[in-house]
Structure formats: C-alpha cells, structure tokens
Amino acid sequence: MKRRDLLKSAALAAGACAGLAHAQGPGDYPARPVTIVVPFAAGGSADVIVRALAQELSSRWGQAVVVDNRGGGNTVIATNFVAAAPADGYTLLCASYAWVTNQFLHPKLPYTPAALAPVTLLGTYPEMLFLRADIPATNVAELAAWAKRSGRPMTFANSGPGSSLHLAAAAFGDAAGIPLTHVSYRGSAPAMQDVAGGQVDAMFEGLTFKSLADGRRIRAMFVAQPKALPEWPELPDARQAGVADFNMASWFGLMAPARTPDTVLARIANDAGAALRKPALDAQLRKLGLLPAPGTPAEYAAFLDSERVKLRSVISRNGITME
C-alpha cells in the first residue's frame, strides 16, 4: 500500500475512534467498569463504606464498580493517582478530611487542589467529646474549672498529628480557653483505651465509641455540632454544652479528575445520593457512625470551601504540623 493510502487509512481509523468515543460520551455513562480509589487499607471504615456504595452503584448502572485501595502518604498517594487519571468519570477518589488539611500541612504536594473536581459528599462523622469517667464535669464551664484546679494542661488523645481528632481538640482548646497537651497514637482504638484506663483525660471521637459511654467506662460530654444527634438524642449539643459555634466532624466524599464533564459529575452525584438514601444502606452506614449527607457537586464544593476556611484557621492558630 502506498504511503498516501496508509495515511488515508490511518485518518479514517482515527475518525472512527473519535466517533466511537463520541458515541460513548457523557450521555452513555457508565459504559464500562468504574474504579473508586480508597486512600486507606482494606477493612477500615472508608473501605467498608465505599464497598457498600460500590455494590449499590453497580446494581444501578449494570457495570462493575471496583474498589482500589491505595493507602499511604496520608492519602497523598491515592489522591495523586486519581488527579493524573483521565477526566472521564471512570476513576474516582474517596476523599476524606485529609483532602483539605493536606493543603496546609504538606508544603509540596505532587498535585494541586484544582486537579480534582467535587462530585458529592457521602456523609459526616460527628465527633463527640469523651472524658475519662472520673472527671466531674457535665458542661464546658465545669470542665474548664476542673482543668484550672488540676494545675496542668488537659491531656487529649488523638489518632495522629494532623488528624481530625487532633484538630478537633485544638479547636476545642481555643473555644473553651482550656490549655491542652496533645498525645498522638497510631489509631483511635489504643487512644480511647487509654482514656478509658485513665491515662489520658479526654478525646474526640465518633458514635462507634458510644457503647463505652453507655457502659460508663468513659463519659460523653457533648456532640461537636450545633444540633443534637437523632442517634443519641440525650447527648447535649455544642450550644447546650457552652460552646455554641463549635462544629467539628470528619467526612468522606467522592471526587473526580478536573475537567470531567459536568453531566458525568451530576450523574454520579445523583445516583450515589439515590443509593445512600436507600433505607438498608442508610441504616448500615449509621451503624458505622457515618451520617449520610449526599448532595450536588456545587453543594459539595461549598462544603469544601467552608472546611478550608475553618481548618486552615485551626492549623495556623495552633502551629500544627505533621511532625
């Protein structure tokens, strides 16, 4: 075949491929398997949540939804992987609290925040203030008075420097005017064990530790938001406890590579929301401590903006680093 004919054939093939790509455009999404990258090891809460959602989405879409665990680097490894993926909606990130805090705790990220587009918030983990059982305080004023009498900073356990629990404690110290000493652990379970054992004064954590409070091994003082939890209605909210504007929670959401078509982002957000509103999945996630809160890409973008403002302030005021 002559060179001219070869070039013509190549051009025709390219045109056919472009036509196929157009035929499988946003309106046909998803036309093949979708991958959700989880920035944590298998078996953790994020992994369990995403796998439950993936199963629902797979049934809804008639396509496999694969969960890819890429832990490490405080979620940076997984985030960078998704940031470099094609902007077609077939590779998504399960973003977490660290998506925001890493922007202020890591001076040299391998990606820019603009490399990913918000899809939808999945849900929040409201945090509660848990105390060792022998601290005689039922509100923040009594806790501040107890801390003053003790003559030392209160010790607050957390699951690692820069974690949501660390920042919640720092923000509480600011709001309540209570001097704190932060004690970092490799995970929440050993940290809460030392609170229950009396080695540490307090810790912020979620509904998963309600059973310890019910068993009086620790004391739950309030939920760190301005309204009570239906799952724990007798627990005071932040306003009732004496820190009206205090609002700290961890969360998970979905993100996609920037420039993913808006129609694809909207389809994912809509279908994820429908899945999360199913009674069976809603109940399953609430047992894990997650309160489902799906919404539109625009609503998630606004949520992330508010988180940036709040968390940047906490990190700056307290000089928090990853050290």
What is the CB-side half-sphere exposure of residue 182 using CA atoms within 13 A?
Answer: 25
- Tally of CB atoms within 10 A around 3: 7
| Same domain flag for 256 and 237 | no
pLDDT value, residue 245: 86
The stretch 235-257 carries a mean pLDDT of 95
Which token pair is 304? 């992330």
| Same domain flag for 236 and 132 | yes
Residue finishing a domain among 241, 261, 294: 241
pLDDT in tens, 97-154: 999 999 999 889 999 999 999 999 999 999 999 999 999 999 999 999 999 999 999 9
Which token pair is 143? 């806790």
| Same domain flag for 88 and 226 | no
Residue-averaged pLDDT of the chain = 91
| Same domain flag for 235 and 213 | yes
Query: Which amino acid is it at 288?
Result: L
| Same domain flag for 70 and 150 | no
Residue finishing a domain among 241, 276, 301: 241
Q: Is the pLDDT of residue 310 over 50?
A: yes
pLDDT value, residue 169: 97
Query: Which amino acid is it at 37?
Result: V
Q: In this structure, is residue 75 part of a structural domain? A: yes
Q: Locate tokens 């025709």: which residue? A: 12
Q: In this structure, is residue 18 part of a structural domain? A: no
Distance CA(219)–CA(136), nearest Å, equals 10
| Same domain flag for 136 and 230 | yes
Distance CA(220)–CA(132), nearest Å, equals 9
Q: 130 with 219: CB under 8 angstroms?
A: yes
In this structure, the strands spanning 291-292 and 116-126 are: antiparallel
| Same domain flag for 230 and 293 | no
Q: In this structure, is residue 16 part of a structural domain? A: no
Q: How confident is the model at residue 44 (pLDDT cuts 50, 70, 90)?
A: confident
Domains held by the chain: number? 2
Which structural domain range is residue 204 located in? Answer: 128-241
| Same domain flag for 191 and 132 | yes
Distance CA(296)–CA(270), nearest Å, equals 7
The stretch 292-313 carries a mean pLDDT of 97
Distance CA(166)–CA(202), nearest Å, equals 11
Residue finishing a domain among 222, 241, 260: 241
Q: Is the pLDDT of residue 283 over 60?
A: yes
| Same domain flag for 38 and 115 | yes
Name residue 172's beta-bridge partners.
Answer: none
Q: In this structure, is residue 281 part of a structural domain? A: yes
Q: In this structure, is residue 223 part of a structural domain? A: yes
| Same domain flag for 140 and 97 | no
Q: How confident is the model at residue 323 (pLDDT cuts 50, 70, 90)?
A: low
Q: In this structure, is residue 21 part of a structural domain? A: no
For the chain, give the number of residues. Answer: 323
Q: In this structure, is residue 12 part of a structural domain? A: no
Residue 267 belongs to domain with CATH number:
3.40.190.150
Distance CA(50)–CA(42), nearest Å, equals 10
| Same domain flag for 82 and 226 | no
Residue 162 belongs to domain with CATH number:
3.40.190.10
Q: Locate tokens 């398997």: which residue? A: 33
- Tally of CB atoms within 10 A around 183: 18
| Same domain flag for 262 and 115 | yes
Give the lowest-confidence range in 113-117, 164-168, 202-206, 284-288: 284-288
Q: In this structure, is residue 70 part of a structural domain? A: yes
pLDDT value, residue 195: 97
